[in-house]
Amino acid sequence: MLPARCPPASVATMVPRFLVLLVFLLPNALSAQTQPRDRPLDPKQQELFQSGETALRNGDLSGAERSFRSVLALNPQAAGAYANLGVIDMRRRQWQEALEVLRRAENLAPDVPGIRLNIGLAYYRQNDYGSAIAPFKSVVRDVPGSVQARYLLGLCYLFVAHYGEAVATLEPLWPQELDQLNYLYALGIAAGEAGDQELEQRALGRLLEAGKNSPEVHLFMGKAYINHEKYDEALTELNLAAQANPNLPFVHFNLGFAYLRKQDLEHARAEFLADIAIEPAVFYNYEQLGLVYSLQHEDRKAEAALLQAVKLEPRLTDSHVELAQVYDRQKKYAAALAEIDAAGKLDPTSYRIHYVRAQVLQHMGRAQEAKAEMQTYTRLFADAREQGRLALEQSSLPNPELARDPQ
């Protein structure tokens, strides 16, 4: 049996299994529920709105946008048109534009949970889990039976290390989700971090039972062993998963992570490259591959991998930090300082970032600034140690497989 306590899980880009077409809000529900009572759609507006709905269902985003904007030209208070424009922007992955029009829809129809659900999802899909909490929480409050909103809220709490809240949010889903491996793994991690050993063991036990020796259950059990720093056992489970399904998404990523923790850099590199061949858009592969290259002193390859990681996800703090160290070794101090400053904006309280920044400044001959950074590092390190947060600064296992977009 696994130990009861897991190290903290890292932030990951996660979209739950059952989030099928969540961004595609039900147009009929919107048109019926989001229009202000004193400004109903007239026949012409209704015709345009229905035309937009049809185009949206058929994937004609440009046609749908024209129809909904025509509605707004006739009726600027049509909340449903704004809401559907937000859906269009979300399909285009234009998250900030989506948030702008969804907020306008929310102002016109504050009692419609579906609008707030999509606002939360727009933040979530940008990996801004902290901002997603409030809208998801409001949906759970207004629609307690919303499985999607509750699960997303629980994951957001998990990713921002609010483990008690994650458990309290996720555990009520047990009756509906007790056969879903993603859910059981997420609940087990949250319970372990919250110190609820009984629930952690129950979730992982159910994971084994529900998985029925599938490649997926070996994948999740391998991840659980990594979280417990049992890397040999993790490799056994993950290799069983890979043998059963060599193209199982993320199994090679987790094999690479386990090999990296064992300092087996050659095998780690091969596994990350194998997962990139299967999942070329998973930015964590490039981040970890860049770290491997950096450890092997192949700085040009490290730079290329890390730049690809931050191109796919600019909020990857670790990639910016590693890039700064690569540039520092290459004596590209201006580039190093730019990368460590980018990391600092993402996580200003990280003692590790201030340590690297101090090194870069020292190499640039800016001794006084370097001294100030070292003082900040010393203070933040002492605070983190006192509060038991040192592990949160360490590289922990990402969970991209929990977030895979539904097909």
**The pLDDT of residue 403:** 57
Amino acid of residue 8: P
Judged against a pLDDT cut of 80, whether residue 193 lies above it is answered with yes
pLDDT class for 389, splitting at 50, 70, 90? low
pLDDT: which is higher, 393 or 239: 239
d(CA 130, CA 204): 27
Radius of gyration of the chain (CA): 23
Judged against a pLDDT cut of 60, whether residue 23 lies above it is answered with no
Judged against a pLDDT cut of 90, whether residue 189 lies above it is answered with no
Q: What is the mean pLDDT of residues 269-285?
A: 94
Decide: helix, strand or coil at residue 53: helix
Residue 150 contacts by C-beta under 8 Å, 6 or more apart in sequence? 140, 169, 170, 172, 173
Token couple for 290: 């860049």
Q: To 5 degrees, how large is the angle CA 67–CA 71–CA 77?
A: 145
Judged against a pLDDT cut of 90, whether residue 371 lies above it is answered with yes
**The pLDDT of residue 34:** 39
Amino acid of residue 10: S
Judged against a pLDDT cut of 90, whether residue 262 lies above it is answered with yes
Q: What is the mean pLDDT of residues 114-122?
A: 96
pLDDT class for 396, splitting at 50, 70, 90? low
Q: What is the mean pLDDT of residues 247-255?
A: 94
**The pLDDT of residue 192:** 87
Token couple for 87: 């859906």
What is the reported pTM? 0.77
pLDDT: which is higher, 26 or 67: 67
The fraction of the chain above a pLDDT of 90, given in percent, is 73
C-alpha closest to that of 316 among 353, 280, 343 = 343
**The pLDDT of residue 159:** 85
pLDDT in tens, 226-243: 888 899 999 999 999 999
Q: What is the mean pLDDT of residues 201-222?
A: 92
Residue with tokens 């949160």: 392
d(CA 166, CA 168): 6
- For the four alpha carbons of 383, 164, 251 and 406, in that order, the dihedral sign comes to negative
Judged against a pLDDT cut of 60, whether residue 307 lies above it is answered with yes
Judged against a pLDDT cut of 60, whether residue 97 lies above it is answered with yes
d(CA 228, CA 10): 14
pLDDT class for 11, splitting at 50, 70, 90? very low
**The pLDDT of residue 269:** 98
Buried b (16+ CB within 10 A) or exposed e, 374-395: bebbeebbeebeeeeeeeebeb
**The pLDDT of residue 38:** 37
- For the four alpha carbons of 228, 231, 237 and 241, in that order, the dihedral sign comes to positive
d(CA 355, CA 130): 26
DSSP symbols for 219-275: HHHHHHHHHTT-HHHHHHHHHHHHHH-TT-TTHHHHHHHHHHHTT-HHHHHHHHHHH
Q: What is the mean pLDDT of residues 189-203?
A: 92
Judged against a pLDDT cut of 90, whether residue 71 lies above it is answered with yes
Burial of 398 (0-12, 13-18, 19+ CB in 10 A): buried
**The pLDDT of residue 391:** 56
pLDDT class for 9, splitting at 50, 70, 90? very low
Q: What is the mean pLDDT of residues 71-93?
A: 94
DSSP type of residue 393: G
Mean pLDDT of the residues in the chain? 86
pLDDT class for 394, splitting at 50, 70, 90? low
Residue 174 contacts by C-beta under 8 Å, 6 or more apart in sequence? 187
**The pLDDT of residue 386:** 75
Q: What is the mean pLDDT of residues 158-166?
A: 91
**The pLDDT of residue 399:** 66
Domains of the chain: 27-170 (1.25.40.10), 213-280 (1.25.40.10), 282-402 (1.25.40.10)
Residue with tokens 């001959």: 365
Q: What is the mean pLDDT of residues 351-379?
A: 95
Residue with tokens 């759970």: 140
